[in-house]
Amino acid sequence: MAPSAALGASIPVVNIPARVELPKLAVLENRFTLTMGAARITGPGDNTSDADPFILYTGRVYNEQLVAGVVRVKQDSVLRTRVCNALPAAAETINSSFNFGVSAFPLEGGQSFKDPNILGHHFHGHYGRPGTDGAPCSPPPADGTTCFRGDNIFADINPGECVEYEYDIPAVHSPGTFWMHPHHHGSGSLQTQSASVPLVVDQNPATGFDFLATPSCERFRPLFAPENEVIMHMQTFMMNINGNDTGLPDPSPGPTDDGYIAVAVKSVPQDPFCCSGPDKQEDGGENSTGDDWEPTVTKEAFYTSGQNAQFTVINGVFSPIINMKAGQAYRWRMVNGATMKWMDLSFNQSGCHLGIYARDGNFLRDFPRITDHIVMSAANRVDVMVVCEAGEYSLRTGAGPLGNDLGCGSSHCELLTQDNLATLVVSPEGGYKVYPEAPFGAPNCQPRFPPYLSDLRNVGPTTDGVTSITYSGLVNFTNKDPTGPASGNCLINSLVYNEAQPLQEVLGEVTQLEVDNIDQHPYHHHIQPYQIVSLPNDTDAFNSLWRVGDYVDTLLLPSSGMKNATVRWIPGPVEITGTGYALLHCHILPHSDEGCIMKTQLLENTYVPVSKGLSNGAKAGVTLAVLVGLALLVVLPIVLLKRRKARRRAAANPAEARARLVDAAFDPEAGNSNGYH
């Protein structure tokens, strides 16, 4: 049945509590429903002082909550999700195409914010089908609801409609932390701010691939007991104060650019919530600025805010309390569900120790990785071991050693600063002694990995002389003017999203990309993760960041002096990923809405021509390939002939070619890749 999409006085109120115990999230298991509707989001302060931030915001939430629960699914199983849209239809004509269309707020050189009440859906970090190949759900919904087998982010869910998604979770899927969030092109940044849920893929002890089945990892198994787990889903509100008659935020509180959610929302006249919000309110406090909205504004505000309207909540709570026991190791599963800003997490005093064991849902090749602070971009997940001595600690962001990137004047590359994300109360009762020199003992764990997470750093020619790296391209995130608030839109290789020019990925063959300007733009790839094989600087000083050898699905290197990386991955196999279309994009979601996206295409056996020239990412790699090909034609005709024959054999039997690559890169008996731990 379709949900109700009426807008009236029945909009629920969602209060943001402050300084209460971190709530445990309800578990959402197979065949759950996420229904997006309107909500009046208010708190955590009461707008009478500057002690706590305050917003009163008509936004969009799932199941009338900021965090509707945590999705849990096991390896080697099927997850069925129904997503319903209970938002009202827009007052004006809805442009429901994934491509951009007419908008009252066109962006110079880019696309636009639009369709505020149309949904898309994304299982972020899923290794599986893109859901665009027409594979049927089994069984199909009894009520005739549209169902996609895979992560079809191109599908629209219009007001009053529901869509189902069937996700095949392969037995080799990494057991880790992921999340689900809206993904309609043009409104993802608006909706994701207050509507997302964490997702955990659990180990299937009967039929799942066991990453910890190595002698070095056995001692860590007790740590993975459910009682040691703490799930922390972080959402960041980005509000600004409107003070003029343009419908855009006044520059005085901060830079006016695409980072502030107000820009996205106030620019879309179709939004039925935009201009019928609460009355003007007084900020309060000795530093009061008076009314948040000037009388010259012709349309009433869709939100009001106090002095501080930029803050992060965890599991829907501002500055929650986390109770722990001294000397006992816990596993924190952290999701940065922000639409834009990055975090640098640390404690306010010594006594707590951090050991990262997974990032973006993928085990590190050697863990725990000891650090005193953790960097998370928007969309990153970090699974970390935590052990503390008795005492009280503040978990904070913004006080780590990296600091803001002074070369970027826009809010999208600013470090999120908050003195207290959470308070840790560590009791001495029943605890154990902490040994700072080895807080998690020794030796470290070196997990085993399935083929799709093989170590590809040293991949070379196969035995028949055919290079294993069959595609090499460039993804360059750029801004027209990256030096200030008036900067142009984010582009990929100087282009906005184009349906006709996908980056092609051939199943079973290594794909390599050079990614640039990821010091300011986090690079996210749908369907499967990629491995970092090269960084300008890779030292223990960057343990808080990514390291060479790590598998990633969202990569940002803020304030590190690094801005580029080389990444590789093996698409497929077809039994797991199928074929079809997906995306890569900047995960600053306002940038994605503006068109900082590239379409990708999963293919079997060989590349196919694309219309209007080369794919966006192919230009640099193909140019190099042409030069090499000419040299071979002139100097080495015999070698060229052999290589052509080898390619024909590989195309005729892609499974055999893939097996040769996997044999070279992965040793299942040793439980590691190429001897690297």
Could you read off the pLDDT of 513-548 as tens digits, one per residue? 999 999 989 999 999 999 999 999 988 888 898 999
DSSP 205: T
For strand 147-149 and strand 162-169, is the pairing parallel, antiparallel, or unpaired? Answer: parallel
pLDDT at 499: 79
Q: How many other CB atoms are there within 10 angstroms of residue 438's CB atom?
A: 12
The H or E element that residue 102 is part of is: none
Q: Which of 414-427 are b and which e, b meaning 16 or more Cβ less than 10 Å from the residue's Cβ?
A: bbbebeebbbbebe
Q: How many residues does the chain have?
A: 677
Contact 264, 339 (CB under 8 A): no
Lowest mean pLDDT among 16-25, 109-118, 477-486: 477-486
Which residues are CB-contacts of 171 (< 8 A; sequence separation ≥ 6)?
A: 75, 76, 204, 207, 208, 209
CA distance 389 to 412: 36
CA–CA distance, 464 with 535 (Å, rounded to integer):
30
- Residue 431 in this model has a pLDDT that exceeds 90: no
39-50: pLDDT as tens digits = 888 889 877 666
Q: Please, which pLDDT band fits residue 655 given cuts at 50, 70 and 90?
A: very low
Q: Which domains does the chain have, with CATH numbers?
A: 13-211 (2.60.40.420), 451-665 (2.60.40.420)
Closest CA to 190 of 283, 90, 54: 90
Is pLDDT above 60 for 150?
A: yes
Structure confidence at residue 400 as a pLDDT band (50, 70, 90): confident
Helix (H, G, I), strand (E, B) or coil at 544: coil
CA distance 337 to 322: 19
Burial class (CB in 10 A: 0-12, 13-18, 19+), 646: middle
498 φ/ψ angles, rounded to the nearest 5 degrees: -140, 120
Residue carrying structure tokens 């909550």: 65
pLDDT beyond 70 at 372: yes
Tell me the per-residue pLDDT of 6-61, one tens digit each, with 9 for 90 and over.
Answer: 444 478 899 999 999 999 999 999 999 999 998 888 889 877 666 788 777 778 89
CB proximity list for 657: less than 8 A, separation 6 or greater: 462, 466, 508, 509, 649, 650
Provide the CB-side half-sphere exposure for 491 (13 A, CA).
Answer: 17
- Distance set, CA 377 to CA 341, 512, 523 (Å): 7, 23, 10
Mean model confidence pLDDT for the chain: 77
Q: If you average pLDDT over residues 194-210, what whole number do you get?
A: 97
**What does the pLDDT read at residue 426?**
96
Q: What percent of the chain has pLDDT over 70?
A: 69
pLDDT of 555 reads 96
Contact present, 135 and 129 (Cβ < 8 Å):
yes
Which tokens sit at 676?
Answer: 């690297």
- The separation between CA 492 and the C-alpha centre of its own chain, rounded to angstroms, equals 18
Kindly tell me the sign of the dihedral angle through the C-alpha atoms of 301, 307, 309, 314: negative
Q: What one-character-per-residue DSSP string does 598-610 give?
A: EEEEEESSS----
Q: Sheet harboring 122-124: ordered strands across?
A: 27-28, 70-74, 197-202, 177-181, 122-124
What's 145's DSSP letter? -
Q: Quick one: pLDDT at residue 41?
A: 86
Average pLDDT over residues 411-421: 86
Q: What is the mean pLDDT of residues 274-283?
A: 36
Q: Given this model, what pLDDT does residue 3 score?
A: 57
What's the CA gap between 326 and 6, in Å, rounded?
51
pLDDT at 487: 41
Q: What is the C-alpha to C-alpha distance for residues 61 and 162, in angstroms, rounded to an integer?
A: 15
Closest CA to 159 of 70, 243, 270, 22: 270
Task: DSSP for 49-90, please give it.
Answer: SSSS-EEEEEEEEETTBSS--EEEEESSEEEEEEEEE-SPPP
Query: For 598, phi and psi rounded to 5 degrees?
Result: -130, 130
Q: Among candidates 82, 234, 69, 57, which has minimal Cα distance to 157?
A: 82
| Backbone angles phi and psi of 453, in degrees to 5 | -110, 25
pLDDT on residue 608 = 57
